[in-house]
Chains A and B, each alone.
Chain A
Amino acid sequence: MTDETALVLAGACPALTSLDVSRTAVSDVGARALLARCRALQSVGLAASRCTAEAIDSIRAEAPPALTSVDLSYLQLAPCAASKAAGVGQAAATRLRALALEGERILLGTALHEFTALAVLRLAGVSADLVALERGLAGLRRLEDVDLTNAGERPFPGTRLLLPCPALPRVCECSIARHQL
């Protein structure tokens, strides 16, 4: 699937509520068109597509009002773009309930604090400063399902990850495989 098809779908299917075009050749052009025209979208999957930071800008600027789930995994973003992905945009961030950024080179900082409604967070394989990661997680009081498999600093240092469990009272699913606790 390419941008041409995404443009057709955007024009022909404004009522789409969920669209997953992960692992296709859709790029920023297609993503922008879909976000702009499909205003009923609640969930969008762009993982391992050809999208770059521009698609993240589109989400910042034009997130459909009902959007609650975004998958931006494996986009091979540069660190600065990955940080932007972690922010996505305050307007969208405050209503997103599911976010996947697996495999990204993330410099989280405090960006995760923006996602106050998150219930599901997929960060497997992200490269992150652990202190920042812990701080980011600590603010997510509605998290129920978090995947931190192989998340950590690179090169992998025998990762120490102090999950702020008291700060995550609702987490019932948590994967922290490949960490040395």
Chain B
Amino acid sequence: MCRGLSLAALPPAKLRLLWGSSVSKACADGASPALVQELGRGRLQQLRHLSLRRSRVDERALRALATISSLEELDFGESTLVAQEAGLADLIAALPRLGALSLSACGLRAGDALDPLLLSIHAAPALRDLDLSENDVDDAAVSRLGNFLSRAFRLRLTHTFAPARTRHSAAPPAPAVTAPLSSQLPVT
């Protein structure tokens, strides 16, 4: 659950009141591409955490996000990424402080199209936390990703599909969707 400033319901005129502010955490779940572009225009240079869950994000929106170089955590969970892998790769390359990226249930597909994304993940200097759950990334893609992760890393691959020969006999789905257990540890 996003606990930052919620932006998705704001009209653009109100949104612009934030520009130049010191907002460090924002939530724009369910945002349209236009709103995401507007965020980019705002040059919120102190914004570190941004949730864009269940949003629709196209290539122009990704380019706009790339201007917020202060971003450390970015959550695209359950979003429709129109630009797909190539645009994401460019975004990751443009965010030097990005430490955590969630791409869960974003419709990422197996195949060569993932390579630019995997390369950008490998090259991202600060990235330490990656969520690829619930995407159709196959074993080959995960294996290629593995070859890139030589540093300390948190990786979520839940509900990534098995190859066709085993898909029908895959493990039963868990009835409840909960946050990963490790994230529920109390802060000490």
Chain A residues within CB distance 8 Å of chain B: 1-2, 4-5, 8-9, 11-13, 15-25, 40, 42-43, 45, 47-50, 68-71, 73-74, 76, 97-100, 102-103, 119-120, 122, 124-125, 144-145
Chain B residues within CB distance 8 Å of chain A: 129, 133, 139, 142-143, 146-147, 149-163, 166, 169-176, 178, 180-182, 184-186
User: For B146, what are the chain A residues with a Cβ–Cβ distance below 8 Å?
Assistant: 5, 8-9, 11-13
Task: Output the nearest chain B residue to A120 by Cβ-Cβ distance.
Answer: B184
Question: Can you give 11 contacting A-B residue pairs, CB < 8 Å?
Answer: A2-B162, A2-B166, A11-B146, A17-B154, A23-B173, A48-B171, A48-B172, A49-B171, A98-B185, A102-B176, A145-B186
Contact B162 A23 (CB under 8 A): no
Contact A22 B174 (CB under 8 A): yes
Contact B163 A2 (CB under 8 A): yes
- Dominant secondary structure at the A interface: loop
Contact B151 A119 (CB under 8 A): no
For the complex with contacts A5-B146, A43-B181, A103-B175, 6 further pairs of A-B residues with Cβ separation under 8 Å are A17-B154, A19-B154, A23-B159, A48-B172, A48-B173, A103-B174
User: For A103, what are the chain B residues with a Cβ–Cβ distance below 8 Å?
Assistant: 174-175
User: For B159, what are the chain A residues with a Cβ–Cβ distance below 8 Å?
Assistant: 22-24
Give the 7 A-B residue pairs with the shortest CB-CB distance, closest first.
A43-B182, A18-B154, A12-B146, A25-B162, A23-B159, A8-B143, A5-B139
Cα A20 to Cα B149 in complex, Å, equals 15
Task: Output the nearest chain B residue to A9 by Cβ-Cβ distance.
Answer: B146
A-B contact count (CB 8 A): 146
User: For A97, what are the chain B residues with a Cβ–Cβ distance below 8 Å?
Assistant: 185
Contact B185 A120 (CB under 8 A): yes
Contact B149 A45 (CB under 8 A): no
Contact A98 B184 (CB under 8 A): yes
Contact A76 B172 (CB under 8 A): yes
User: For A119, what are the chain B residues with a Cβ–Cβ distance below 8 Å?
Assistant: 185-186
Cα A74 to Cα B150 in complex, Å, equals 31
Contact A74 B175 (CB under 8 A): yes
User: For B151, what are the chain A residues with a Cβ–Cβ distance below 8 Å?
Assistant: 15
Contact A17 B166 (CB under 8 A): no
Contact B157 A20 (CB under 8 A): yes
Nearest chain B CB to A115 CB, angstrom units: 13
Contact B181 A9 (CB under 8 A): no
